[in-house]
Amino acid sequence: MDEEAKKHYVKAGKVIQDARQVARETAEPGTNLKEIAETVEQEIKDQGLKPAFPVNTSLNEEAAHYTPSKDEEKVLTENDVLKIDIGAQSNGFIADTALTVNPSGKHQEIIDTVEKVLENALQFIEPGVTIGEFGTYVQEQVPEKYNPVMNLTGHYLDQHTQHAGVSIPNVENTSSHKFKKGDAVAIEPFITEGSGKVVHGKPGNIYLQEADRNVRGRTERKLMKTINGFDGLPFTTRWISNYGGRQKMAMRKLVQNGMVKSYDVLKDGQDGLVAQAEHTVLVGVDDGDNIVTTRR
Ligand code: MN
Ligand code: MN
């Protein structure tokens, strides 16, 4: 990893540390999820960076990929288990992090547990360790009363790319891929009281441009122009000004035509509670030690 890349990864991480703090302060009972997402995204922008993806606010049995819509109605209640997943990019270098909150404290145990699993996982990573060894170790850290989610993984990061090919499972696997010095990776265990396997739910208001061809229809063309401005990173209709009925129909067409991909919410297969913790790591770059960019 060259110094320039490292500098940007660290800068994005610093901003994300503050965004995590803002997320915790904003996630009070009675707050609309849209306010939480927008306050966190605004913090990133106020510090001169761009969100790497729309802030995810996934509730209870939902694990990931829900972001509030413009007319969001969901309001956080005290017993909710809310996963807030946040990303920022500096010159395309991404910091990716997530925390879980439960205002009443009723479900604090699953949150403390997943945070401990993440801490142990971060300690285990060093150059030469394989992804297979890593997954087996992480699975061993999960107490019997919970299941690790087997089909959600950490991932490599690269400039302008949030999911850069190699997946990092949190369960036993046979990958012989070795972590090496200079790797940028996001480590993100999910644990659940449910089945340990997520399934597709409703569309979660998150989209990604898949192609860049000419499209028919004035509204579709205008919408594609706006979408081009998101630089190939995930976006939400919440970020599109004047998004109304016509634009909604146009977006449906763009999804049907394969121009844009729509992400579904991922939720536990038995609707069990899910908790997540995530940090971004630069492997071995600090005199052989890891830098966890998103942790203060
Ligand atoms: Mn994330
Ligand atoms: Mn991630």
For the chain, 296 residues long, the average pLDDT of each consecutive 10-residue run is 96 98 98 98 98 98 97 97 98 97 98 98 98 98 98 95 90 98 98 98 97 93 95 95 95 97 98 98 96 94
pLDDT in tens, 158-213: 998 888 889 999 999 999 999 999 999 999 999 999 999 999 999 999 999 999 98
Ligand 2 mean position, distance from CA 237 (Å) = 21
Ligand 1 mean position, distance from CA 98 (Å) = 5
Statement to judge: residues 184 and 215 lie in one domain: no
pLDDT score of 160? 86
Candidates 38, 41, 80, 278; catalytic one: 278
pLDDT score of 143? 98
Statement to judge: residues 126 and 243 lie in one domain: no
Candidates 8, 65, 107, 155; catalytic one: 155
pLDDT score of 111? 98
Statement to judge: residues 54 and 172 lie in one domain: yes
Statement to judge: residues 196 and 208 lie in one domain: no
Helix (H) or strand (E) holding 250: helix 245-256
Statement to judge: residues 134 and 280 lie in one domain: yes
Asked if 96 is an active-site residue, the reply is yes
Asked if 200 is an active-site residue, the reply is no
Statement to judge: residues 186 and 243 lie in one domain: no
Asked if 188 is an active-site residue, the reply is yes
Q: How far is CA 67 from the centre of its chain?
A: 11
- Beta strands (DSSP E) in the chain are 50-51, 56-59, 62-64, 82-90, 93-101, 147-148, 153-156, 167-169, 184-187, 190-192, 198-209, 260-268, 274-276, 279-286, 289-292
Q: Rounded to an integer, what distance in angstroms lies between the CA atom of residue 39 and that of residue 44?
A: 9
Statement to judge: residues 142 and 275 lie in one domain: yes
Task: Tell me the CATH number at 229.
Answer: 1.10.10.10
Candidates 38, 41, 80, 188; catalytic one: 188
Overall pTM > 0.95: yes
Asked if 107 is an active-site residue, the reply is no
pLDDT in tens, 226-250: 999 998 999 999 999 999 999 999 9
pLDDT score of 164? 81
Asked if 160 is an active-site residue, the reply is no
For the chain, how are helix, strand and coil distributed in percent, rounded to 5?
Answer: 30, 30, 40
Statement to judge: residues 32 and 164 lie in one domain: yes
pLDDT score of 163? 83
Ligand 1 mean position, distance from CA 245 (Å) = 30
Structural domains counted in the chain? 2
**Residue 126 is which amino acid?**
E
Statement to judge: residues 86 and 190 lie in one domain: yes
Q: Rounded to an integer, what distance in angstroms lies between the CA atom of residue 228 and that of residue 223?
A: 9
pLDDT score of 82? 98
Statement to judge: residues 90 and 208 lie in one domain: no
Q: Considering every ligand atom shown, identify the ligand nearest to the alpha carbon of residue 276 and give its number.
A: 1
Its domain, for residue 139, covers 3-200+268-292
Statement to judge: residues 15 and 102 lie in one domain: yes
Statement to judge: residues 179 and 252 lie in one domain: no
